[in-house]
Structure 1
């Protein structure tokens, strides 16, 4: 069974909230959106792609699209599911990705869930549960009432919740969470300094690992080698510049993203984008 975001949203606004309580079981399902799960009370068993994890009050985790999951053996379980499409929301994230806990909770933890046996999930203390619950219920109220301006305030409340959870994750160390936060710092470093000359040794030191272990772990975390991750990021930035600043010469764009040789840049761009920089620019004008 797959659940679709469009069945829950109104006015095409890609954010919805679904409280779930007093249900002993929820059949295994998947969905075409990302789901942020806040466990407010009780206990249960989370069924996740053939594995089972005990969940309880204070647990926070993310379910990515097309991921099969469900619940059983629920005892007084109260959950808030926040359904969203971050790209479709077009919300300005500003420096949110610089918080180690953001990348850890929303991108890395789902990938490391099996390896870490769910130990890298976020666990909220009682006072933090209350704050997260209040923000979630404020979003729910605005979505229900739909007063003029509700979309704007929902985005603001949602971003506040993301920042709160991300900061809390960063301040709640366990060996598993520390590992993810170290990787988050590496990814943030690459994303903020992609145009600089970044060495593998520099990244390994940030991750507090040997080069060999870092390369293997980075591949597991991102599905890419550190070098390819940096290269793909540079190409994505180049594509933005080619379209957003059509008067800028290709050679200058190459310099902006960290390439001293514009010919080498053009070859790498063609290899990844399947067309030259100029062809890409022209294709976006049509």
Structure 2
């Protein structure tokens, strides 16, 4: 299996973002591969088959997929395809504003679907209309032009255009009316609520009630969709909030703990080490702090307490 690394994918190692717009692609088999970065793929024209982690699915114009890191995938029987491929390293580019994580559509597309799609056989995915594709194509062509010509301020313009695209796709997802995508959107709304209220006293019954589910059903659906139990996810949100505070200010560890939902600073420090591998003080001094923060939701927890 081929693995595409960061060094070969990005021409500027200080700006880990790339715009690829493949026009009129035709190939019988694009080999199965993984990569050390995230891909946002949008099918503009054409049809074919997409192999993802052991299963094959048909792709059509308007399909939007997000692939994170080590997810193996490839293409077969592609004819006349126009495909947008935006590659980026979340820990380096762009720094997605925390407010984005309060958007149900963002959580559905970028957080839940990459985990959920294999379990649901691609029944859940964002599919854009012709008008929506036209808007997206105009954005991508502007991004392509900035990357090619490199005028003054091109990096900042690329960041701005990409963030606009993320918001637009999130809004498109929120316009979905039914099907498996609606379930993703509903769960995305729960993630948004947790993102905005993680420092409060949240528990399974309260979250299940908000989702209009029984506790057992909510626990099952949440774990299947996100890869985490609700309490595991909540703990990582709190640790993520603590990471932000530790890097942004000289606040005392005890104050950071209280501000992010921990009443006991010693318990906070133990949980912080279990999740990140470092104490809060070590994290503050670590040159890999941003990378650690970006990877909070990529692995499993050692502890399930929150």
1:106 maps to what in 2? Answer: 110
- Native 8 Å contact 2:96 2:163 kept in 1: no
2:16 maps to what in 1? Answer: 14
**Post-superposition offset of 1:235:** 3.1
What do residues 12-51 of structure 1 show as CA deviations (whole Å, max 9, x unaligned)?
2211122223312322222111111111111111111221
Worse-superposed segment, 86-95 or 58-67: 86-95
**Post-superposition offset of 1:65:** 1.3
Distance in structure 2 (CA, Å) of the matches to 1:164 and 1:201? 33
- Secondary structure at 1:184's aligned position in 2? helix
**Post-superposition offset of 1:242:** 4.2
- Native 8 Å contact 2:101 2:195 kept in 1: no
Aligned to 2:71, which of 58, 67, 74? 67
What do residues 170-194 of structure 1 show as CA deviations (whole Å, max 9, x unaligned)?
1023321111112111112112111
User: Which consecutive residues of structure 1, in runs of 5 or more, have no partner in the other structure?
Assistant: none
- Secondary structure at 1:10's aligned position in 2? coil
TM-score by length of 1: 0.89
**Post-superposition offset of 1:135:** 0.7
Distance in structure 2 (CA, Å) of the matches to 1:261 and 1:68? 41
Rg (Cα) greater in structure = 1
Aligned residues: 283
TM-score by length of 2: 0.84
User: Which consecutive residues of structure 2, in runs of 5 or more, have no partner in the other structure?
Assistant: 288-306
1:198 maps to what in 2? Answer: 202
2:55 maps to what in 1? Answer: 51
**1:157 and 2:172 are equivalent in the alignment:** no
Aligned to 1:256, which of 227, 244, 259? 259
